[in-house]
Amino acid sequence: MNIKTTTLDGCFIIKPKVFDDKRGYFFESFHQKKFQELTGVKTQFVQDNQSMSQRGVLRGLHFQTGKFAQSKLVRVIKGSVLDVAVDLRKDSSTFGKHFSIILSEKNKLQLFIPKGFAHGFAVLEDDTIFSYKCDNYYNKLAEDGVMYNDPDLHIDWMLDENEIQLSEKDESLSSFKEYNLQP
């Protein structure tokens, strides 16, 4: 496992050691002790989620609030996505900044997103399977989000606007300014 820092404090790219041969491949997708030693982050994942989506689907930017905040470890099992993390920690030097990376079945990269971040992804290939571990249980009453196309965030989602498919919930998320005005 190789860990690389990103432009956002506490957000890490994880590259597993992949063993390829004529039969296929094998890799350790997570190892608690190695992760903690290499990142300094103590976390215990309690919930795994998986989605399958078609090209153009955009999920996000989501987060859980208060005591239900979640750190996530995300990866793609099949296909590819543009994965985006936005720092919402008001006391952070990178508050309001984002980091994006292509995660795919080919590169097998993972992204660790700490609590206090919004997260979203744009699907770049049909039948993409996305998987993520969370260190806190989902709570519907604590869910929140920021609009994917907020002009203050300047995120390039690598899709044409007419390709983007959103859920009803994601169409009505607040702006970054509205989020920023909350206590």
Q: Could you give the number of structural domains in the chain?
A: 1
Instruction: Using the predicted structure, report yes or no on whether residue 29 has a pLDDT greater than 80.
Output: yes
Q: How far apart are CA 74 and CA 117, in angstroms?
A: 13
What percentage of the chain reaches a pLDDT higher than 70?
98
For residue 60, tell me if it sits in a domain.
yes
62 part of the active site: yes
Q: What is the mean pLDDT of residues 128-134?
A: 97
Stretch (H or E) spanning 176 = helix 176-181
Instruction: Using the predicted structure, report yes or no on whether residue 123 has a pLDDT greater than 90.
Output: yes
The pLDDT value recorded for residue 116 is 95
Q: Which is more confident, 182 or 157?
A: 157
Residue among 139, 106, 138, 151 nearest 124 (CA): 106
pLDDT in tens, 146-177: 999 999 999 999 999 999 999 999 999 999 98
For residue 3, tell me if it sits in a domain.
no
For residue 35, tell me if it sits in a domain.
no
For residue 20, tell me if it sits in a domain.
no
For residue 5, tell me if it sits in a domain.
no
Instruction: Using the predicted structure, report yes or no on whether residue 182 has a pLDDT greater than 70.
Output: no
Q: What is the mean pLDDT of residues 4-30?
A: 94
Kindly report the backbone phi and psi dihedral angles of residue 70, in degrees, each rounded to the nearest multiple of 5, phi listed first.
-130, 140
The partner residues of 18 in beta bridges, in order of sequence, read 27
Question: In b/e form, how buried is each residue of 1-20, taking b as 16+ CB within 10 angstroms?
Answer: bebeebebebbbbbebeeee
- Sheet of 98-104, strand order: 98-104, 80-87, 117-123, 58-64, 143-145
CA distance between the termini of the chain: 39
* Mean pLDDT over the full length of the chain: 95
Instruction: Using the predicted structure, report yes or no on whether residue 183 has a pLDDT greater than 70.
Output: no
Q: For residue 181, what pLDDT band results from cuts at 50, 70 and 90? A: low
The pLDDT value recorded for residue 120 is 98
Q: For residue 142, what pLDDT band results from cuts at 50, 70 and 90? A: very high
Give me the catalytic one of 62, 98, 148, 179: 62
Q: Could you list the residue range(s) of the whole structural domain that residue 47 is in?
A: 43-181
154 part of the active site: no
Q: What is the mean pLDDT of residues 84-102?
A: 96
Q: How far apart are CA 53 and CA 163, in angstroms?
A: 13
Residue among 114, 136, 110 nearest 29 (CA): 110
CATH number, domain with residue 139:
2.60.120.10
Residue among 99, 142, 133, 103 nearest 117 (CA): 99
Give me the catalytic one of 25, 31, 98, 132: 132
